Amino acid sequence: MLHALEIAGMVCPNNVFLAPMAGYTNYPFRKMCEGLGAGLSFTEMVSAKGLHYRNEDTNLLLYHGPENFLPPENDPTLPFPENGPTLPPPLEGGRGVGERPLAAQIFGADPDIMREACESEALAPFDLIDINMGCPMPKIVRNGEGSALMEDPAQAEKVISACVKSGKRISVKIRTGVSEEKKNAVEFAKMCEGAGACMITVHGRTRDKIYAGPPDFETIAAVKAAVGVPVIANGGIWNDRDMRKMFDRTGADGIMVARAALYRPVIFCELTEREAPPLLPLYLEQLAQTEQIYGERFAVVYMRKMAAFYLKGTPRATEAKRRFFAAQTTEEIATLAKELM
């Protein structure tokens, strides 16, 4: 079940991945999850048009280094734990924290612009480029992007083929279909493989379900049986029991964790059978890295949200959320974390 996974010559230390999540999977969060056991993590969804027009915010989504980035422990201005980070060691046989393959996710429907993005300097450091063909958000779908491409396989094939011509490893993330009446994941996956995709991730829900309801194990299993490239199963994985059920019911080559990681990033320790470190040093390290890379204002807004995720379900969650969202500086947030986590 848990094993190293090769994708077109790229070796991941294990087959438990962190999903791309818009607004959340920035560099510090990805590196934290990898340190906790994730075998591969993906950037937030990046617009190919944004790269084409050299949008500064788009490029910032692709920040990926320096490798093994840690804030200086002796800098008194940073809310960093005195004894440094408490991260478990790298997985045996893995490439180590900061040395795993790099994966980015992009979206778009114009084959030329998508190929240009894959060939861009911004994506040059990445070992794998994933094309989002599953996003259900209306503003994406209205532009013919994301899951809209599942309704236009011919255009989707042109996009994948163009990206493959860049010479990069190309994977595709899809859904089971756009609705129960229009499930076409098996045929679509075959097209993806034929166009040159080296991995396919299936979110086990239709577009109209967004993130609701149980995953469709049968369709994921059918995709796995229909193609020869690795298939990653996504959806409804909140604990070890869910992971085992997903593997047993689908035969997938790997699984991808999304929302569960936002609430409990140590889920990767559970899924990879490692000892989980305490939350506080993880949070303080994430806070410090986020501030150094993106600035204090971004760090305050982002880390307030992360605190609400991490503390959800605890006895003082409501009061803690109120206090965190009233904080205006990273120093205040660090002080609250030391009190409440």
Q: Is residue 21 part of a domain?
A: yes
**183 and 242 inside one domain:** yes
Query: To which residue do tokens 């309704």 refer?
Result: 151
For residue 115, give the nearest of 75, 162, 153 by alpha carbon.
162
Domain that holds residue 325: 295-340
Could you state, in chain order, the average pLDDT of each consecutive group of 10 residues for the chain (341 residues)? 93 96 95 95 95 84 64 34 35 42 96 96 94 93 94 97 97 93 94 98 91 92 98 96 97 97 96 93 95 94 97 92 96 96 91
**213 and 308 inside one domain:** no
Query: To which residue do tokens 């204090």 refer?
Result: 296
**128 and 262 inside one domain:** yes
Q: Is residue 47 part of a domain?
A: yes
Q: Is residue 283 part of a domain?
A: no
Whichever domain contains 262, its CATH number is: 3.20.20.70
Q: How many domains does the chain have?
A: 2
Q: Is residue 284 part of a domain?
A: no
Answer with the one of 219, 237, 271 that is the final residue of a domain: 271
The model carries a pTM of: 0.88
Establish whether 198 is a catalytic residue.
no
Answer with the one of 271, 303, 329 that is the final residue of a domain: 271
How many C-beta atoms surround the C-beta of residue 118 within 10 A?
Answer: 25
- Choosing from 135, 163, 192, 198, the catalytic residue is 135
**54 and 171 inside one domain:** yes
Indicate the residue type of 281: P
**322 burial type by CB count under 10 A (0-12 exposed, 13-18 middle, 19+ buried):** exposed
